Amino acid sequence: MRITAALTETRGAPFALTPLELDDPRPGEVVVRMVSSGVCHTDLIMRDQWYPVPLPVVLGHEGAGVVEAVGDGVGHVVPGDHVVLTFNSCGDCGMCDHGRPAYCDGFFGCNFSGARPDGSSPLRRVGGGSVHGVFFGQSSFATHALATERNVVKVDRDAPLELLGPLGCGVQTGAGAVLNSLDPPAGSSLAIFGTGSVGISAIMAAVIAGCSPIVAIDLNERRLETALELGATHAIDAATDDPVERLRDLTGGADYTLETTGVASVLRQAVDALGNGGTCGLIGAAALGTEVSLDMSALLFGRSVRGIVEGDSVPRRFIPRLIDFHRQGRFPFDRLIRTYAFEDINQAVEDSEKGTTLKPVLTFAG
Ligand SMILES: [Zn+2]
Ligand SMILES: [Zn+2]
């Protein structure tokens, strides 16, 4: 079928709306008409080739929409179902078997190779010419996306599809890091380094978990204000204050910290701010090969650093749970979102990079 996609032709290039052809679904595949797609930091670092995603490619991995067609053997969804698209996994390795799909042995191939497992792409230029697709099992910067049965999550018809895209990556990453990965007992202290959409999702989840204090750290005053509005009990402006010292004053050494920025020196601070026995969750993605130095004696006293992908989410369980929290008014992730028409994708990206929009969401005309 003919679709319109925002194509990334070369490293760092602006997104270019382009007509493309999309394959019909093969067995196990699902075609989704997009209603919304979040723009995630990971799309931008892929555009900039921090990871070697092959070009030209259609990026986008926070899609939500309506199932348009399904391939043979698909039983989880039927045409007309409302779905959130999420990361893909092989379903066949030890980590997938143990219910940890975010650490799938095939994660890179399933999400970043730009192709199906057999090497084919479901996308091509009108008149021929290959284009890489199935980014994060979806390539959602397009009017239609081809996913697999494994990475679509059916949601209730009355849930607001135009807002749900970010649940498939950024929001579940932040919220899951707290509720699934760290799972802090009520009353634990938690400090979140970086208050972008992932960090603020973590803050909202920390309120649900009953953490106290919940300390937000950033360089951006406006973001810190938003963090305070959405549940942080304290804010530290790292431009003017030493976060490690302030956190020691506030918590006596934090029980938990979360690093969401991907900056090595910030990870160091997030570890140095821990009390004995504390855990630092690392969410921020750095360029491949980035190294950090840590104080070995500090680590020895029961501290740990734990890498976290996609908030340890098992999406079919966790995404409906987040929608329930939202419905109950306990998880107002819509406060992070600003919507843009799909055609305005480059404006959405610019506003995200400037920090004036926490979570841009593209919307697609009916
Ligand atoms: Zn796997
Ligand atoms: Zn993402």
In a domain, 80, yes or no: yes
Nearest to 170 by CA among 49, 316, 37, 77: 37
**Residue 287: which CATH number?**
3.40.50.720
**Going by C-beta distance under 8 Å and a sequence separation of 6 or more, which residues neighbour residue 317?**
none
Q: How far is the CA of 5 from the centre of ligand 1 (A)?
A: 28
In a domain, 317, yes or no: no
Domain identity same for 50 and 82? yes
Domain identity same for 191 and 276? yes
Domain identity same for 41 and 125? yes
Q: How far is the CA of 2 from the centre of ligand 2 (A)?
A: 26
Domain identity same for 248 and 266? yes
Give the integer Cα–Cα distance in Å for 22 and 2.
6
**Could you list the pLDDT tens digit for every one of the 366 residues in the chain?**
999 999 999 999 999 999 999 999 999 999 999 999 999 989 999 999 988 899 999 999 999 999 999 999 999 999 999 999 999 999 999 999 999 999 999 999 999 999 999 999 999 999 999 999 999 999 999 999 999 999 999 999 999 999 999 999 999 999 999 999 999 999 999 999 999 999 999 999 999 999 999 999 999 999 999 999 999 999 999 999 999 999 999 999 999 999 999 999 999 999 999 999 999 999 998 888 999 999 999 999 999 999 999 999 999 999 999 999 999 999 999 999 999 999 999 999 999 999 899 999 999 987
Domain identity same for 22 and 164? yes
**Residue 105: which CATH number?**
3.90.180.10
| Pair 258, 246: CB distance under 8 Å | no
The 3 state secondary structure assigned to 60-73 is CCCEEEEEEEECCC
In a domain, 323, yes or no: no
Domain identity same for 66 and 20? yes
Domain identity same for 178 and 282? yes
Domain identity same for 115 and 7? yes
pLDDT at 288: 86
Q: How far is the CA of 216 from the centre of ligand 2 (A)?
A: 21
Q: Which is it for the CA torsion 203, 208, 209, 212, positive or negative? A: positive
Q: How far is the CA of 296 from the centre of ligand 2 (A)?
A: 32
Nearest to 191 by CA among 276, 260, 239, 240: 260
In a domain, 277, yes or no: yes
How many structural domains are present in the chain?
Answer: 2
Residue 354: give the domain boundaries.
2-168+332-363
Q: How far is the CA of 122 from the centre of ligand 2 (A)?
A: 21
Domain identity same for 160 and 186? no
Q: How far is the CA of 103 from the centre of ligand 1 (A)?
A: 7
In a domain, 320, yes or no: no
Residue found by looking up tokens 């391939």 in the block? 71
DSSP summary character for residue 13: P
Q: How far is the CA of 74 from the centre of ligand 1 (A)?
A: 19
Q: How far is the CA of 150 from the centre of ligand 1 (A)?
A: 11
Closest ligand, as measured to the CA of 151: 1
pLDDT at 164: 97
Domain identity same for 97 and 179? no
Q: How far is the CA of 121 from the centre of ligand 1 (A)?
A: 20
Q: How far is the CA of 305 from the centre of ligand 1 (A)?
A: 23
In a domain, 45, yes or no: yes
Domain identity same for 14 and 84? yes
| Pair 147, 85: CB distance under 8 Å | yes
Give the integer Cα–Cα distance in Å for 232 and 213.
8
Closest ligand, as measured to the CA of 86: 2
Domain identity same for 12 and 93? yes
The rounded mean pLDDT for the chain is 97
Q: Residues with Cβ within 5 Å of ion ligand 1?
A: 89-90, 93, 96, 104, 106
In a domain, 316, yes or no: no
In a domain, 322, yes or no: no
pLDDT at 293: 96
CB atoms within 10 A of CB 10: 9
Q: How far is the CA of 298 from the centre of ligand 2 (A)?
A: 32
